[in-house]
Chains A and B, each alone.
Chain A
Amino acid sequence: MSVMLLEPREFRLLDGLRLNPRKSFGGKVRGERLTKKKGVSIEFDDYREYAEGDDLRHLDWNVLARLDAPVMRTYRDEEDLALYVLLDSSASMGFGEPTKYSAASKFCCAMAYVALNGGDAVVPRILGRKEANPITMRGRANYPRVVAWVTQSRDLESSSVGLTASLRAFAAQSARAGVVLIVSDGLDPDIASALRILGGRGHEVLFLQILSDVEIDPDIEGDLRLLDAETGRATEVTANSYVLKEYRRRLQEHNQSIVDVVRRIGGRYALVRPDQAIDEVLQHVLKREGWVK
């Protein structure tokens, strides 16, 4: 794997793509995203009466000539879009071949690259541990910092905070609303409520769920004591056809609950496997579902 995590071919695929949020969000700095705020851009928004002190450059001379009334042209402002990249680093992400975490890292990098390339602000966050003050990255030149951030976060066993708790903590921060990209396996029983809170904060949630074959079609049998990778909780089961069937039913119900919540809060959801290539995910998931354009 490249030190940039993505291959040149994949960079070429990502070049020219832009994030395609359903909502418009206010930014902090001038950027390339139209906002609802009035400002300086070439995108006409409305007319208003002239007020003293207004910049005469925006006076509509044609209207003044026909109606003899000074009318000002107003424009939509263009600001940057905040993309919060939330990477799940809980212990459960260490399963799969390749591991879900490595695949998630690549997807995060890809989406961050798209955002940086589009002039958006990228705020990377690690789910599963307490983190120092987040940094905001802008511009393609910051992509290596994203890679460094992903690489430094690889110690999955040191996760101390649960997925739900991390999401709640993120929602509790007074960060400006933006697009929240969550790349996670979603294996937390309370994740739906945390997502609902995120939606309530005005974020547009993009939930990219990564599940490996270990979760989707577990190949186990016999009398087992299952140990939870995150909590260490033990569950005794006799893995037979009934149990496996029940497990699959519960997994489907759990995933469906995530899908329902994400759609209810106006977000987007996609399920991928860790062995899927970036181009395949781009082509068949992200582009088709309108995550990027």
Chain B
Amino acid sequence: MTLQNPGVLSILLPLVGLILVLYILKMKRRDMRVPATFLWPERVEEIRANALFQKLRPTWLLFLQLLALLLAVIALAKPQTQQKGLAGEVTVFVIDASASMSATDVQPSRFAEAKRLALEGIRGAKATDRIAIIEAGPTPRVISSLSNDPAREAAALDQLQPSDAEGAVGDAMRLAAALVGGIDGARIVLLSDGDFEHITNFSRGKAAVVYRSIGTSDDNLSVSALGAAETPKGRQLFCGIKNHGSKPFGGTLSLYADGKVIDSLKTPNIGPNTQWGRTISAPAGARIFEAKLDSPDFLKSDNYAVAIADPNSALHVLLVTKGDLFLERALSLDPRVTLDKSPDVPASEMAGRGTGAYDIVVFDGIPEQPVKARGVLCFGAAGTSSPVTASGSAAKPKFVSAEKKVLLDNVDIGATFVDKQQVVRPKASGEVVAQSSAGPLVVTSQDQGKRQVYVAFEPLNSDFPLQVGFPIFVANSLDFLTGGSSSQTLSVKVGQPFSLPITEEAKLTSPDGDTTVLKPTGSALTIRETRRVGVYLLDVKGKTQKIYASLRSDRASTIRPEKNLDLGGGEVKASQSPSRFADFWRPLILLCLLVLAAEWWLFARKS
């Protein structure tokens, strides 16, 4: 026990002395004449004010008053007791629900152990302690807000499910800091293995951060690479296996093409942090390649990978922009897109010999340049390679007309307010899709395997990004530029939300067989439910689309439990049994009141 205000103890002795002085003062009694005194017992209780000094006679009243004084002075000194336990007066449990937490080196799993620790903390908390729980999954989620209702917190904890996705632990910690960072003595308890992206821009405020490291081993193999490529030797399938652990071991790799086994091989013992690869001939015509690894490692979700041999199933897009979050987000929503961003076009992507790294280049307000990509989407800055010739600019043009083209399906471009647009004239290859009072508004072209879409205004010079039709227009443009509609087979990164231009209600069946009914928001259907690795079936009006969710993340496959964490503001060490200081003055005050009540009762009886 420690005292926060030990100086108060110095007043104890003077006060004790004062009470003793009151007791050694001789009592001035009232005279009363009685018939005889021999019948009266010689019993004297000193309980009232006095006048002259006399010998101190110990009484229960004196003892109780001294006891009450002692308790009150100790309470004023604000004693604290040190207690072990995860929960403090105000606690936020941040439970890492990332893929690595599914590792089974701790039985039954790291995630289950994290839940157990949180539950232990909830049960060990005092009645006045407030606890919140945050799930650090792909998207941080407060599953139980600050409360002192253990039953509700335990129920929320019970509903928590692991995921095979990368967890946004940084966002979850920032969310926790936002919740309790302003509260003195608050505590953020991170239950994790520490295997997540380095956290920056984190400030814990007044809260203390307690990190409880979960996990004992780093043994893990993952399918780190799987891809089909057309080579002079024919279609080749490459598969890579990486050992993320600290000791060498191997497994059995099975490769499938369109669901049929095409090869099964035993890998050699792969050294620590070493990748082993194998290239085999892939059957012609096969579209879906899967790799399944059977190994005695502790994380199974990264032992599966899928590659779709469809040029449109995965698109590498380069966004050349000075910065447009709306456009960036609209492009990222498409599950096929792997997006890179740059303020200008890299020299390797400029038109010339060879093939570029990108399928599509998007120019956002930056003049279009000739590129190797097979599709170009240009906003508000026509260049020499554009299907239009620019001749100036016009302010606040009025919408005139639009063609019924697939590009504008579910897009009401007529309702868009444009502040400024380029005045252009279409080239011979250009086809005007929408027209404004200042000239062509949207122009497309198809020439020698190359497709282009030109929009005469920048998104930020209009309210187009704020309309529901904007991401649909972007998705329609990607479809047009790749020469077809969306693929019936998608490969997505597990846990990453994505949208599809679907306006109907859809039913999603998970690899476990669980079904979820999804309703579209506006003109898009956003899917966030792909939390586990495997094949999902999306049923829209009887038409089924396969969605392959796989985890291919070096970070997530590294399951080595971290003992220390750098949380931006400083290093946090793993703690087994964090302690807390609990104020102890309330019970003392209560006891003091009880003693005073007893003293009053005794005084009343003696009076």
Chain A 230-256 per-residue mask, 1 if CB under 8 angstroms from chain B, else 0: 110111111011110011001100100
- Asked whether A185 lies within 8 Å of B43 as measured between CB atoms, the reply is no
Interface residue ranges of A219-237 to B (CB < 8 Å)? 220-231, 233-237
Please name the residue on chain B nearest to A187 by beta carbon. B36
Chain A 192-224 per-residue mask, 1 if CB under 8 angstroms from chain B, else 0: 000000000000000000000011001011111
Other-chain contact of A240, B37, B39, B45 (Cβ < 8 Å): B45
- Asked whether A225 lies within 8 Å of B29 as measured between CB atoms, the reply is yes
- Asked whether A254 lies within 8 Å of B39 as measured between CB atoms, the reply is yes
Q: Does B31 make an interface contact (CB < 8 A)? A: yes
The CA of A220 and the CA of B606, in the complex, are separated in Å by 13
Other-chain contact of B41, A228, A229, A234, A246 (Cβ < 8 Å): A246
Q: Does A53 make an interface contact (CB < 8 A)? A: no
Q: Does B42 make an interface contact (CB < 8 A)? A: yes
Note all chain A residues with C-beta closer than 8 A to B33.
226-227, 229
Q: Does A134 make an interface contact (CB < 8 A)? A: no
- Asked whether B37 lies within 8 Å of A233 as measured between CB atoms, the reply is yes
| Distance (whole angstroms) from the CB of A86 to the closest CB of chain B | 18
- Asked whether B29 lies within 8 Å of A224 as measured between CB atoms, the reply is yes
Interface residue ranges of B20-49 to A (CB < 8 Å)? 27, 29-45, 47-48
Note all chain B residues with C-beta closer than 8 A to A228.
34, 36-38
The CA of A259 and the CA of B45, in the complex, are separated in Å by 34
By size class, the interface of chain A is 35 or more
Q: Does A92 make an interface contact (CB < 8 A)? A: yes
| Distance (whole angstroms) from the CB of B25 to the closest CB of chain A | 13
- Asked whether B37 lies within 8 Å of A223 as measured between CB atoms, the reply is no
Contact A92-B32, Cβ < 8 Å, known A223-B27, A223-B47, A223-B48: no
Q: Does A95 make an interface contact (CB < 8 A)? A: yes
Interface size on B, residues (CB 8 A): 23
- Asked whether B39 lies within 8 Å of A224 as measured between CB atoms, the reply is no
- Asked whether B41 lies within 8 Å of A247 as measured between CB atoms, the reply is yes
The CA of A230 and the CA of B38, in the complex, are separated in Å by 11
Q: Does B541 make an interface contact (CB < 8 A)? A: no
The CA of A240 and the CA of B33, in the complex, are separated in Å by 17
Q: Does B605 make an interface contact (CB < 8 A)? A: yes
Other-chain contact of B43, A91, A225, A230, A237 (Cβ < 8 Å): A237
Q: Does A8 make an interface contact (CB < 8 A)? A: no
Note all chain A residues with C-beta closer than 8 A to B42.
235-237
- Asked whether A223 lies within 8 Å of B35 as measured between CB atoms, the reply is no
The CA of A246 and the CA of B33, in the complex, are separated in Å by 19
Other-chain contact of A237, B41, B48, B607 (Cβ < 8 Å): B41
Note all chain B residues with C-beta closer than 8 A to A214.
34-35
Contact A251-B39, Cβ < 8 Å, known A224-B32, A227-B34: yes
Contact A241-B41, Cβ < 8 Å, known A95-B35, A225-B32, A227-B34: no
The CA of A229 and the CA of B36, in the complex, are separated in Å by 6
Please name the residue on chain B nearest to A252 by beta carbon. B39
- Asked whether A235 lies within 8 Å of B37 as measured between CB atoms, the reply is yes
The CA of A95 and the CA of B33, in the complex, are separated in Å by 10
- Asked whether A237 lies within 8 Å of B39 as measured between CB atoms, the reply is no
Note all chain B residues with C-beta closer than 8 A to A226.
32-34, 37, 40
- Asked whether A243 lies within 8 Å of B36 as measured between CB atoms, the reply is no
| Distance (whole angstroms) from the CB of B283 to the closest CB of chain A | 107
| Distance (whole angstroms) from the CB of B174 to the closest CB of chain A | 69
Chain B 251-277 per-residue mask, 1 if CB under 8 angstroms from chain A, else 0: 000000000000000000000000000
- Asked whether B44 lies within 8 Å of A237 as measured between CB atoms, the reply is yes
| Distance (whole angstroms) from the CB of B118 to the closest CB of chain A | 59
- Asked whether B47 lies within 8 Å of A238 as measured between CB atoms, the reply is yes
Note all chain B residues with C-beta closer than 8 A to A243.
40-41, 43
Q: List 16 A-B contacts (CB under 8 A).
A: A189-B38, A220-B32, A221-B607, A223-B27, A223-B30, A225-B32, A228-B34, A228-B36, A228-B37, A229-B34, A236-B44, A237-B41, A237-B44, A243-B41, A243-B43, A247-B39
Instruction: Give residues in A with beta carbon < 8 Å to B.
Output: 91-92, 95, 185, 187-189, 214-215, 218, 220-231, 233-238, 240-243, 246-247, 250-251, 254
Q: Which 5 A-B pairs have the closest CB atoms?
A: A92-B35, A187-B36, A238-B45, A228-B37, A225-B29
Instruction: Kindly list 6 other residue pairs between chains A and B, CB separation below 8 angstroms, not including A91-B35, A238-B45.
Output: A221-B607, A222-B30, A223-B48, A228-B38, A229-B33, A250-B40
